[in-house]
Amino acid sequence: MQGAGHRVAITGYGVVAPCGLSKQNFWRGLLGSGISGSLTVEIENWDPAPYFAGPKEVRRADRCEQFALAAAQEAIEQSGTLPYDAARVGTIFGTGIGGLRTLEEQVIVRVEKGERRVSPFLVPMMMSNASGAAISMRYGFQGPAETICTACAAATHAIGNAARLVAWGRCDAVVSGGSESAATITAVAGFANMTALSTSKISRPFDVERDGFIFGEGAAVFVLERLDKALARGANIVGEVLGAGSNADAHHITAPSPGGVGAIACMKLALEDAGLSAEQIKQVNAHGTSTPLNDSAEAAAVAQLFTHKPPMTSIKGVTGHPLGAAGALEAASVLLSFEHQLIPPTANTKTVDPEISGVDIVTGAARSWRPGPTISNNFGFGGHNGSIILAPYAG
């Protein structure tokens, strides 16, 4: 982050997703076939037990929080013990909705069994800040513990804000990311009735036949540290956060601004923060939800700003759209693309919409590349825009 004082290293990350538990299983899933046939894609046979002390702890954590703690465990195990004052280790987390499953379950309990049967744990389980709070309490992190709740841009905003705390010297390390598990019967009905979900039940970003997204879930968590301190303790550096941008369309509660003008401004902010020119970006990890308006607006924005046409991909053909966790899963996919020197394809996309031009969308199979600075975008209902720029560590 240019002029901020400290370089920001990523020393560990963990992933929980329907296409794979753990980051390497997630990567294999990203290279597999796309999803279709349902309005939702969820983690099958999820077992939270390995991440909790016992059944009582499990029952007191919403599925969203369970995912967050599982991903955090992998991230922190990879990073290693953080030898810093607990007051200088923060937890900045993102979610779009939080513990909606618990809320919906307890509404049913109240209706069927009465108010006295509502769980006393309803509030701490449903609150949006539960996941970040749980991570800070489990590991004893006493620095800033905040939750970003900006719809589908939440995790991207969280990672950007976390990186600034490190770059500015407020924290030596920050654990960040996002988690979501909100595909309840009522939520799915709401998204379907507003015509956001795919009627064909296929997620195919940028395809001429795209007609909406498939509801996903999952979590990814990252350990961000001052680069100099991480090197001093012998940590393995898996990447760097170079910059981040955040702004608002101020246009419409659900639709992006025409031509992607808000997205263009957001990406420019991230480039300025990173001290990079547009031509230095080597990959675009798109928000790419498979909705007609979002994909058209984002592609127009990318085409206008990145005239050298870096390869662009969306992983939502595999993951579906996990709302507030989207930016976290996509940041993890970028780090994995650095490691494997491959850009995963935009799954299910067969024929790119002919009205989308000026962009190079990776389809069909993974593409070899020489890893370099990558911009990852997420845009949320309410007009929230977020972009982060990640890069491989090059010394």
Return the bridge partners of 178, or none. 94, 220
Annotated catalytic residue, options 19, 64, 149, 152:
152
Task: Give the pair of three-digit tokens for residue 6.
Answer: 């400290």
Task: Single out the residue of 338, 344, 324 nearest to residue 218, CA to CA.
Answer: 324
Annotated catalytic residue, options 6, 157, 321, 384:
321
**Catalytic site includes residue 384:** no
**Catalytic site includes residue 149:** no
**Catalytic site includes residue 321:** yes
Rounded CA separation 298/260 (Å): 6
Annotated catalytic residue, options 149, 171, 266, 287:
287
Query: Mind spelling out the 3-state secondary structure of the chain?
Result: CCCCCCCEEEEEEEEEECCEECHHHHHHHHCCCCCECCCECCCCCCCCHHHCCCHHHHHCCCHHHHHHHHHHHHHHHHHCCCCCCHHHEEEEEECCCCCHHHHHHHHHHHHHHCHHHCCCCHHHHHCCCHHHHHHHHHHCCCCCEEEECCHHHHHHHHHHHHHHHHHCCCCCEEEEEEEECCCCHHHHHHHHHCCCECCCCECCCCECCCCCECECCEEEEEEEEEHHHHHHCCCCCCEEEEEEEEEECCCCCCCCCHHHHHHHHHHHHHHHHHCCCHHHCCEEECCCCCCHHHHHHHHHHHHHHCCCCCEEECCHHHHCECHHHHHHHHHHHHHHHHHHCEECCCCCCCCECCCCCCCEECCCCCEECCCCCEEEEEEECCCEEEEEEEECCCC
**Other beta carbons less than 10 A from residue 169's beta carbon:** 12
Catalytic residues: 152, 287, 321
